[in-house]
A = this chain, B = another copy of it.
């Protein structure tokens, strides 16, 4: 086997942990860092090294990947005291696979550039299953040459790697993705609940709509979850809200009115405010059910 470059991996949560395992399995010498110790012990048992700080994790690595919860976590881990930026050598590559604001992503890339570190923003879609099966869809912002350097390990994490554009462009694409997913979930929830309230079997409506222009992966997968009231995540409503807040802020910064996205952001805000942030994002249906005063249901007697 050729010598593979040493990789740092910071953030061993629901997504990061299986991704780090995939890199280990592919033979990459791996140094891991995580705030809570349990997943670190698990990765070390599987063959990784661990480091006490982000800076120490980056030292001696050719490439470091972060997979963290939000803007604040990425800023703290990369730019904070003992941060990754302080440890990475000139010429190393930082790949942030978290979903954060494009504006934050650009700021971090600029900071790293001052230190001679190359940066990519590379958020993913595909969820926990995609992380485990290495079938993530990866949307990349940053210099094309930097992506070519990072591509071999990224190919161990995802099936589709699309170079969207310059720094921040990956996060812009992810924001667009979350806008479309969130608004489409709302559309499907409204349609199925409307069918049910009008006395029509929502399962037959879903089936009929899958054959035409209304067809989507959301109608297929999340529509079925709604029919089954199966709202264990999946992707949590609180994360969908975080992402729609990024979308709305980006719209304000770019001067683009987003009436649909804003309406649906407000719905997720209400869902999370009433304590249902841990439901799958398709659980937005339950908010509409509450407002309608009736659940989604199939008719007792078939026609």
Which residues does A use to contact B, with CB under 8 Å? Answer: 102, 125-126, 137, 139, 143-144, 160, 162-166, 168-169, 172-173, 175-177, 179-181, 183-184, 186-188, 190-195, 197-201, 204-205, 207-209, 211-219, 221, 247, 250-251, 254-261, 263-264, 266-267, 288, 291-294, 299, 303
Contacts and interface: CB of A to CB of B under 8 A. Distances in A.
A180 B187 contact: yes
24 contacts: A139-B208, A144-B303, A162-B211, A164-B201, A168-B198, A172-B194, A173-B205, A173-B209, A176-B191, A176-B195, A176-B205, A179-B190, A180-B188, A183-B187, A183-B190, A184-B187, A190-B256, A193-B256, A194-B256, A198-B254, A213-B217, A216-B217, A255-B294, A263-B263
Given A139-B208, A186-B183, A188-B180, A254 B214 contact: no
A199 B165 contact: yes
A143 B188 CA distance: 27
Most buried by B among A162, A207, A219: A162
A266 B259 CA distance: 10
Given A125-B213, A181-B214, A190-B179, A200 B260 contact: no
A288 B262 CA distance: 14
A166 B212 contact: no
